[in-house]
Amino acid sequence: MTLPLSASAQRFQDFLRAQGYAYQVVEMAASTRTAQDAADALGCAVAQIAKSLVFRGATSGLPILVIASGAHRVNEARLAELAGEPIAKAAAAFVQECTGFAIGGVPPLGHRTPPRVFIDADLLQFSVIWAAAGSPRAVFQLAPTDLPHLTGGKVVAVT
């Protein structure tokens, strides 16, 4: 069951439309805050959930976004190697400030501060994935092959 869009999900839907993207944001009755919650609500594999994880460059202080399969845990040492600097976990306030969205609803694009983006190569095995869309109950469907173009991200092994 879907609901009317919350203010933050509507803001993301408006962003998508303004950019010329036809993706449709849906607000679910059940939580999609975690990858498992989203998979359960959507009836798909947890691996098809594209979770947007924000880290902070420990030297630069800049946001680093990893779009990872919901079935995987990010290898932080590998991410630091890819980023070329040590990384730190991002506090909720940092995530909100940089992206404009709360943890659990961070979409892979449309952030206030454009992050460096790394995309989990394992997402490309699917024809369809789901990503957060501005709130802990909102998601949108896309082809994983769209992610590099949408985000300017680099497809890498991050797990």
Under DSSP, the state recorded for 143 is -
CB 132 within 8 A of CB 139: yes
Q: pTM of the prediction?
A: 0.94
Give the separation between CA 107 and CA 47, rounded to whole angstroms: 17
Residue 108's nearest CA partner among 21, 6, 29 is 21
In 10 A of CB 89, how many CB atoms? 11
How confident is the model over 112-123, as a mean pLDDT? 97
Give the separation between CA 42 and CA 25, rounded to whole angstroms: 13
Residue 77 has what pLDDT?
97
Digit-coded pLDDT (tens) for 43-60: 999 999 999 999 999 999
How confident is the model over 13-29, as a mean pLDDT? 95
Type of residue at 47: A
Split at pLDDT 50, 70, 90, the class of 125 is: very high
pLDDT exceeds 90 at position 117 = yes
Type of residue at 140: F
Q: Provide the residue ranges of all domains of the chain, joining segments of one domain with +.
A: 2-156
**How buried is 92 (Cβ within 10 angstroms: 0-12 exposed, 13-18 middle, 19+ buried)?**
exposed
Residue 3 has what pLDDT?
76
Digit-coded pLDDT (tens) for 126-150: 999 999 999 999 999 999 999 999 9
Residue 1 has what pLDDT?
56
* Mean pLDDT rounded to a whole number for the chain: 95
Give the CATH architecture of domain 2-156.
Alpha-Beta Complex (3.90)
